Chain A
Amino acid sequence: MNTFQKIKNIDIKKAVLDKIKGGNIKPHSRFYFTFKNALTVATIVIIFLVLLFITSFVFFALKTSELWFLPIFGIKGIGILLENFPWILVLVIIILTALLEILANRFNFVFFRPLLYSILVIAFVVITFGFFLNDTPLHSFIYEKAKQDNLAVVKPFYDEFARPNPIDFHPGTVVEEIKDNQFKLELADRAIVQVAISEKTKIRKDFKIYKGGRLLIIGKITNGTLEAEAIDNAPRGGRP
C-alpha cells in the first residue's frame, strides 16, 4: 500500500467517525427494523391472500361458467376454453407472484435456492389452496350478496368472469322436448334458443335429450337458431 492510499484510508475512518461524533448520522432504531420487517411480512401475507382469492376465483369462474368442462369436446373444446380463459386474471396472478417472489427474496431461506423452486412452491400452494377455497361457499356467497345489494365493483367483476358469453359455447337447460331434431334450450342469461341437430352434430349414440336436462353445446347461433356442432351432458359440479 503506498503512502497516498494510506493517508486516504485514514481519512475514511476519520470522516466517518467525525460524522458519528458530530451527530450528523444516527443509527436507525431497533423499532425501525422491527417495523420494516413486520411491514414486509404483512405485505407478503396480504399479497398471498389476494393471490389465493384471485386463484380460487379463477376456479370459481371456470366452474360457474362451465368453461372447465370444455375439454370433453376435444381440441375444439380446448380451443374455445383457451379463447375464453380469464387471461387478465392469470396476468394479475403472475404479477402478484413476481411481487411475492421479490419480497420473499429478502430472506435467505428463499434466495439460497433457485428462484424456480420458490416460484413452484408459491404456485403449488396457491393453486392447491385456491382449488379448495373455490369449493367453499365463499365466492357463491359474495356473488349472491353482490347481486342482492348491487355492489358497485364486486358485481360487475363477478358478472364479467363468472357469467361470460363465450362465442360458440352454450351451456343451458332443455326446456322443451326434442321434436324433428330441434329443441329449446334456456341459456345462463335466461334467453331461450332453438337448437338444431344435424348429421354433422357430434353426439353419442345413446345420448338422450330430455326436458330439464343440463347440456353443453358447441355451435354457432344464426337467426336465433343454435346449429349444434357437438352436444354433451353438463357434468355435476358446474353452474349452481
Chain B
Amino acid sequence: MEEVSFENKESYTDEKIAELVSLGQEDYFGILIDRYKAKMLRYARKFLFDESSAEDLVQDVFVNAYINIKGFDVSRKFSPWLYRIAHNAYVNEIKKRNKNPLVFFDIDVFLPHQSFKENSMNEVENEEIKRELEACIDKIDIKYREALILCYFEGLSYKEIAEVLHISISAVGVRINRGKKAIKKDFKI
C-alpha cells in the first residue's frame, strides 16, 4: 500500500484521496469531508429548504460515499460521483416528505434538443442570476431548481450535471434555460 505523508495531503486530488481511502487508508476520508461538507450542506439547504435535516442528510451522504468508495472509478471525476450520491439522498428525502410524488417521466429527457451554450454569460450576469435565484428559489419547479443550483451555486459543468442527474447534456441545457426564464418571469411580476 502506498505510504502518503499527511503534510502533502492538500496537494492530492479528490480522485487520488478516494483511491487511497478505497485501498484502506480511511483517515484520508476526513479530507474529502473537509473539502465537500460545505458544498453538500449548501446543496441540501437550497434544494430542500430545510436547515434542520440538512446536517443529518449530509452525514448520510458521506456514510454512503464511504460504503461505496470501492465502486468509484478513479479515472473519472470525484465530485459528480459524490453529488450523485447526494442527489439520490435528497430526492429520497423529498419523496418521503412530499405528499405530491415526483414526476418520473420527463419529456425533456426523452426528446433531443438544440444544444445550449454553456457558460455563455459573463461574471456579472452569473452573479445576477445567482442573486435572483436566491430570492425566488422556492418558487421554481424542482427539476429546474436542482439543475440551476448545481450550475450556479455548485459550479458544475453541463456534462457533470448530466452525470449527477443521469439525464442527457441537452436536457440539462433545457432545464437551466427554462429555469432562468422562470426566474426572469418571477422577477418581472
Residues of A within 8 A of B (CB): 1, 5, 8-9, 11-13, 15-17, 19-21, 25-30, 32-33, 36, 105-106, 108, 111-117
Contacts and interface: CB of A to CB of B under 8 A. Distances in A.
Contacts of A16: 29, 33, 59, 62-63, 66
A20 B26 contact: yes
A1 B37 CA distance: 13
A13 B68 contact: no
Contacts of A106: 166
A103 to B, nearest CB: 12
Of the listed residues A106, A108, A114, the one surrounded by the most CB atoms of chain B closer than 10 A to its CB is A114
A115 B109 contact: yes
Contacts of B68: 27-28, 33
A108 B63 contact: no
A19 B162 contact: no
Contacts of A33: 68, 70-71
Given A16-B66, A36-B71, A112-B168, 5 more contacts: A12-B58, A25-B67, A28-B71, A112-B162, A113-B112
A115 B112 CA distance: 8
A114 B29 contact: no
Interface of B: 21-22, 26-27, 29-30, 33-34, 37-38, 41, 55, 58-59, 62-63, 66-71, 109-113, 159, 162-163, 166-171
User: Which 4 A-B pairs give the minimum distances between C-beta atoms?
Assistant: A33-B71, A114-B112, A13-B33, A115-B110
Contact of A114 (B37, B69, B111, B166): B111
B37 A21 contact: no
A113 to B, nearest CB: 5
B37 A29 contact: no
A112 B157 CA distance: 13
A108 B165 CA distance: 11
A19 B63 CA distance: 8
Contacts of A27: 21-22, 66-70
A146 to B, nearest CB: 39
20 contacts: A1-B38, A12-B59, A13-B30, A13-B34, A15-B59, A16-B29, A17-B30, A25-B63, A27-B66, A27-B69, A27-B70, A32-B71, A108-B163, A111-B162, A111-B167, A112-B169, A113-B112, A114-B171, A115-B109, A115-B110
A113 B110 CA distance: 9
Contacts of B71: 28, 30, 32-33, 36
Nearest to B72: A33
A114 B71 CA distance: 26
B9 to A, nearest CB: 14
Contact of B66 (A9, A12, A20, A116): A20
